[in-house]
Chain A
Amino acid sequence: MADRKKKRRQADPDSDSESETLPFKKLLKPDSTILSSLKALATASSTAGTSSAANPVTLSSLSLSDTCREVTDLPLSSVQSHIETLALSLAKSILAGNGFSFSVPSRSSANQLYVPELDRIVLKHKASLRPYANVTTVRKTTITTRIMQLIHQLCLKNIHVTKRDLFYTDVKLFQDQTQSDAVLDDVSTILGCTRSSLNVVAAEKGVVVGRLVFSDNGDMIDCTKMGMGGKAIPPNIDRVGDMQSDALFILLVEKDAAYMRLAEDRFYNRFPCIIVTAKGQPDVATRLFLRKMKLELKLPVLALVDSDPYGLKILSVYGCGSKNMSYDSANLTTPDIKWLGIRPSDLDKYKIPEQCRLPMTEQDIKTGKDLLEEDFVKKNPGWVEELNIMVKSKQKAEIQALSSFGFQYLSEVYLPLKLQQKDWL
């Protein structure tokens, strides 16, 4: 209580002296000062990037007690030959009268392992046998065979299809897209390659705008000239290349609404940056794109997510991978993402009015407490502290809560101030 009073007293002179309605605006220093601090961050990030790239830690170099599994990006030809070798062995097994079966690495949570040295989730060695001649697995085995054959076709023709396309090639057998999608991930793990190397992509979901130029399938794209909507992130990352940018950082936004605000206000012109959003839970393409940007441009990544457990969860998916795609975590995760906002401590610091804060539901609190047990949160003491504040105060707020000070508060005051104070974790 006392703390709050003090803050109010501090803020009072502001509102008295100025008729300016946006709180904290007075605190802002000229943009040039903020820019210089950002430059420092960018250089630090690029040098750190080079040093870590010098001696990259790989799974094999860690010599873990459990033998772990991860997949790699394979060129089409080797995917093709993998499938062919498998097909030959299956055919031989059938001809020998033994039926056939697949050995599918288990993707269940019991078979997942968080490796702190890598800051990623990887799969352990457990695998399950999927024989044809068993009532419970016969369907899945058949679907696996069929998907494999379809991917073989893709390899021969060297084209990309979406998951939906794949499903429609044999609706009668697959029955339901979730079935073909799940088996697709199984096939990735069986072949030991990433899903994108199977030439199967998900529909476009993420968008990017800002100081970035890259080539998409040979066409040069300037993301400052993409209008308000930005450029849709291409589903297959292998046709993206030649990334160039004069940005100082990458701003990762959880929500479409906040993204729109920043794009319309041309935030990236005031502070050179690249703004990316996946509109909620990130898809594979957006994660790949972010990783590629981070690695090629060596820019720091700042995240703007809701102040609730799901915001942090989304952050974690970018940072260390989702459980579902953990086999592919090496290629999908972007290390070293900074949590810029909105953090639980910001609620009081920026005096978000009570009516804009929401009480956390039972489920929210449970998720929050579960997150506190997660390794990726634990390794960052700042995050643990913030999460503790959230669980204790039992309050959450969305990015839109800042709109209570005016629609442009986010781009005009909140973000510049945050950047000026180097307030990221």
Chain B
Amino acid sequence: MEMESSESPIQTTKGAAAKSKAPRKPKQTTSVLKQKSPAEFFSENKSIAGFDNPGKCLYTTVREFVENALDSAESISELPVVEITIEEIGKSKYNSMIGLADRERVDEELYDDFETAKAREKRLAKEARIQENQAKLAALGKKLKEPTSAKAIKGRAQASFYRVTCKDNGRGMPHDDIPNMFGRVLSGTKYGLKQTRGKFGLGAKMALIWSKMSTGLPIEISSSMKGQNYLSFCRLDIDINRNIPHIHLHEKRDLKEHWHGAEIQIVIAGNWTTYRSKILHYMRQLAVITPYAQFLFNFVSDASDKNVSIRFSRRTDIMPAVPLETKFHPSAVDLLLIKRLITETSKQNLLQFLQHEFVNIGRAFAERLIGEMGPDFSPKMPVKSLTSQQIVRIHQLFRQAKFDDPSGDCLSPAGEYNLRLGIIKELHPEMVATYSGSAQVFEGHPFIVEAGVSVGGKDVKQGLNVFRFANRIPLLFEQGADVVTRTAMKRINWNSYKINHTQDKIGVFVSIVSTKIPFKGTGKEYIGDDISEIASAVKTSIQQCCIQLKSKIAKKIQAREQQERKRNLSRYIPDASGAIYDVLKEMTTLHASKKKRYNDEDAELLNKVSSKLITKGTLMEKLAEHVEQVDYEMALEYATHRGVTDEPRENLFIQSLRDENKFTDFQSPVFVFRLFQ
């Protein structure tokens, strides 16, 4: 419960960095009862924020930084440019960073990975055997398998360290707020409701706690805001017990280049080997759903062959509108929330409170509601004077009364246009179809489902590839139980759309945006399959895409048949005419020996066969002529049916224009019409 209540205020802290914060008053410890600071709570339960193991921690750190960067850039309507670098740091380098001298092992037997004499004997014997085998194979001239390098015996101390750097072109942070933004967990003040990207709203703070737990090294932040002529630099860590920032250095520096945004650097323990593919998948999927952003991802290590550098370039400069903050829908609030709204409202009386703090309650409707509440209530009564019992009554009525559904205006879906471009940009599919559903409601929260289905493409596995997005961020874990996966696997009859779901390379993309995504499980990694509103919306969206694809696929199959018809028909000519000729041949011998009588016409034919006037070649020739004719007729029919002749197509690329042009945009979910002045 504590989590729930403390979560909503911080959800909106991201991207609203400029707002000053009123730090929560530290709780007074008056009795033996111990109290935990939020920072302590999260350090002990870090798995609920996605920090389960070193590998996952590295992954979550990357995604928190990247999502913060996107939020920050979008909040000032700047096309995001995000650079993320992971640098592997060896143990000795790490030691030197923290000023610890490398020590040689003196007492070898003390260590976990110490090899006893017996174990060594065993290992050497095994290696010898392997070598012998390989020598044998080599002698036989067989291709040698890469000698499996004796795996480094992994001890507990093997965890590697990584420096994660993330640079964006966003809003930046006000100089004085930086310490509190990083060094204080759950430090938001603004309440409200809107579609947010963040999974936990903990952002970089959890990463800082993790770095403190694993390396003890501080976080470094450089930031500059638009119009600022200096660079804020701050090096800090967090006092976990007191939940306050511990500042090492906080200063203004000269701004060397024209730049606004933030650059955050942190050193944490992690595991690149096991989470490499997850991180890369995450970046790729993020590029799909955010085609207007440019990402540069780098992995740097001592071994240069392991280095990775990928650029996900920008494909469009149309950004979805910033999601609007909205008010709660009456059917979505609980008792605690009503109480909080009452404490925080600036409205004086009950009527105004109902009218202004909730959506879909007009003045007349508010009056009707108050009338229904009972004689203890009146429109003019001061809202702060409501008793607990009265609040329960309001809550009950909110549950039972009928309200209009909230509109989806406050949501910011990716948009069909961007989703399509994202899919094309990252997957290069042969075919793609997208669909955007209208806003629907689940428990008072509006949601919009958008879907894309692609067929073919590069780096796509055979079968179904499900890409899930919630509030425009990819979901990678716990795929099996998710509503999208389940729907795609079980409830779509792919065959009826002429799609072979085991052979074809199918990409299924579903993006759900909502003011509250109904995640399941602690990790917030999947949306449950038990919500029928969402399940049916997902199904319809995917089906709509499939319907679009079906006609395309049918045309393609038809076209392929056109091309292959003649080849297929001709392929069997020798077999068929050979078989018939053989029978005729046998008959001629019988005919010659007068064993059988035939009528004149047949006899003439047989005579021609025996005198080689008709041979297998003749039959083949005639049959080929017939095939030619049938093929021509069918091609003609196909052409008249299609009505158009296929002309060779060329790809056409339109250059993007310079920024200086003045223009007016006419937006639509599917396209943007831009009028230049």
Contacts and interface: CB of A to CB of B under 8 A. Distances in A.
Interface string A241-271: 0000000000000000000000000000000
B572 A138 contact: yes
A97 interface: yes
Nearest to B574: A142
Contacts of A152: 582-583, 586
Nearest to B572: A142
Centre residue among A81, A87, A156 by max chain B CB count within 10 A? A87
Interface string A164-191: 0000000001000000000000000000
B583 A87 contact: yes
Contacts of A418: none
B598 to A, nearest CB: 8
B573 to A, nearest CB: 9
A148 B583 contact: yes
Contact of A91 (B571, B584, B625, B629): B584
B626 A133 contact: yes
A53 B565 CA distance: 55
Most buried by A among B579, B614, B623, B631: B579
Interface string B340-359: 00000000000000000000
B614 A95 contact: yes
B2 interface: no
Contact of A94 (B580, B586, B587): B580
Interface string A90-124: 11101101111000000000000000000000000
Contacts of A148: 579, 583
A132 to B, nearest CB: 6
Size band of the A side of the interface? 20 to 34
Contacts of A97: 622, 625-626, 629
Interface in A63-101: 81, 83-84, 87-88, 90-92, 94-95, 97-100
A25 interface: no
Contacts of B598: 88
B619 interface: yes
Contact of A135 (B568, B581, B623): B568
B618 A95 contact: yes
B565 to A, nearest CB: 5
Contacts of B614: 91, 95
Contacts of B565: 135
B602 interface: yes
A152 B581 CA distance: 12
A152 B584 CA distance: 10
Nearest to A81: B596
Contacts of B572: 132, 138-139, 141-142
A91 B623 contact: no
A138 B561 CA distance: 14
Interface string B560-574: 010011001101100
Contacts of B586: 152-153, 156
A146 interface: yes
B577 A94 contact: yes
A345 interface: no
| Of B565, B623, B631, most A-chain CB atoms within 10 Å | B623
Contacts of B622: 94-95, 97
B569 A135 contact: yes
A148 B580 CA distance: 9
B623 A132 contact: yes
Residue of B576, B577, B586, B587 most packed against chain A (CB within 10 A): B576
6 contacts: A91-B581, A91-B605, A132-B569, A132-B572, A135-B561, A152-B582
Interface of A: 81, 83-84, 87-88, 90-92, 94-95, 97-100, 132-135, 138-139, 141-142, 145-146, 148-149, 152-153, 156, 173
The 6 closest A-B pairs by CB, nearest first: A99-B626, A149-B579, A87-B583, A142-B572, A133-B630, A145-B579
